[in-house]
């Protein structure tokens, strides 16, 4: 009886509780759970859970660390990207998205003049002017561009009147100016007027074969005094195009 008791104690010391299995690398508590799956033909396939080596040799091999799947960035459509883009004005300033709708279009004034030189005026009274072919051409062009209605109509007439009066003040009675142009083409000058009424950025676009006359027109535009923008005009500037029909 005593021998049996000693044998049981020795057995429990060597194999405590009888539930720890030996592994060459790890002491794993309990038997790992096996999972069964089925292949295409319906046969059961037993797989061991991840992290448990198949053999002692596999346990000694370095295991490749598993990395989490990469995060996929949320796709943004081209339309959404374009809607958030800034709008840049001709002055170089950027408009935020809320201001795009309220932004005002930048107007362009095309102003037509007909001017007669001293020789042409000497041939007849001002009442003879409507008989001139060149005058009719200038008037027709003027009617196409003349602003009679809308928020800019009054200021259009203001700019036209001031520049025309300044030209007449400077050169209408000056003799020796050659008013002849190539094929009666108009002298074209571009400019910009700002809210203060200052005209700048004056450039000759077409001399019509008479650069001296074009330079005089440019000087008259640059030195003309024009009123400020009225409260109804919110634009940062107004582009101007002057067309002078000169008759010698």
Lowest mean pLDDT among 10-14, 75-79, 100-104, 148-152: 100-104
In a domain, 99, yes or no: no
In a domain, 189, yes or no: yes
In a domain, 36, yes or no: no
In a domain, 103, yes or no: no
In a domain, 232, yes or no: yes
As for how many domains the chain has, the answer is: 1
Lowest mean pLDDT among 13-17, 96-100, 200-204: 96-100
Question: How far is residue 95's CA from residue 87's CA, in Å, rounded to a whole number?
Answer: 5
In a domain, 239, yes or no: yes
Contact by Cβ (8 Å): 247, 179: yes
Q: The domain containing residue 222 runs over which residues?
A: 108-247
Two tokens, residue 77 = 């459509």
130: Cβ–Cβ under 8 A, 6 or more apart, which residues? 136
More confident residue, 142 or 106: 142
Contact by Cβ (8 Å): 140, 132: no
Residue 187: pLDDT over 50: yes
Q: What is the mean pLDDT of residues 63-69?
A: 60
pLDDT of residue 24: 47
208: pLDDT confidence band, cut at 50, 70 and 90? Answer: very high
Residue 10: pLDDT over 90: no
Residue 44: pLDDT over 70: no
82: Cβ–Cβ under 8 A, 6 or more apart, which residues? none
In a domain, 130, yes or no: yes
In a domain, 240, yes or no: yes
Residue 103: pLDDT over 60: no
pLDDT of residue 119: 67
Residue 86: pLDDT over 60: no
């Amino acid at each position: 009886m005593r021998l049996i008791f000693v044998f049981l104690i020795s057995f429990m010391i060597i194999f405590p509780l009888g539930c720890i299995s030996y592994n060459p690398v790890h002491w794993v508590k309990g038997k790992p759970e096996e999972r069964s799956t089925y292949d295409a033909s319906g046969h059961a396939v037993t797989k061991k859970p991840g992290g448990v080596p198949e053999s002692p040799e596999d346990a000694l091999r370095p295991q490749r660390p598993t990395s989490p799947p990469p995060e996929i960035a949320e796709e943004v459509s081209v339309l959404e990207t374009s809607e958030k883009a800034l709008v840049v004005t001709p002055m170089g300033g950027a408009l935020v998205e809320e201001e795009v709708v309220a932004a005002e279009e930048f107007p362009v004034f095309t102003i037509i003049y007909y001017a007669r030189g001293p020789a042409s005026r000497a041939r007849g009274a001002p009442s003879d002017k409507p008989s001139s072919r060149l005058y009719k051409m200038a008037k027709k062009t003027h009617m196409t561009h003349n602003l009679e209605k809308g928020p800019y109509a009054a200021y259009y007439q203001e700019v036209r009147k001031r520049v025309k009066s300044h030209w007449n003040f400077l050169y209408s009675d000056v003799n020796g100016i050659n008013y002849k142009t190539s094929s009666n083409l108009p002298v074209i000058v571009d400019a910009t007027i700002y809210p203060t009424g200052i005209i700048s950025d004056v450039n000759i676009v077409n001399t019509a074969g008479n650069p001296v006359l074009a330079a005089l027109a440019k000087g008259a535009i640059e030195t003309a005094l024009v009123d400020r923008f009225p409260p109804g005009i919110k634009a940062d500037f107004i582009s101007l195009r002057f067309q002078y029909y000169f008759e010698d």
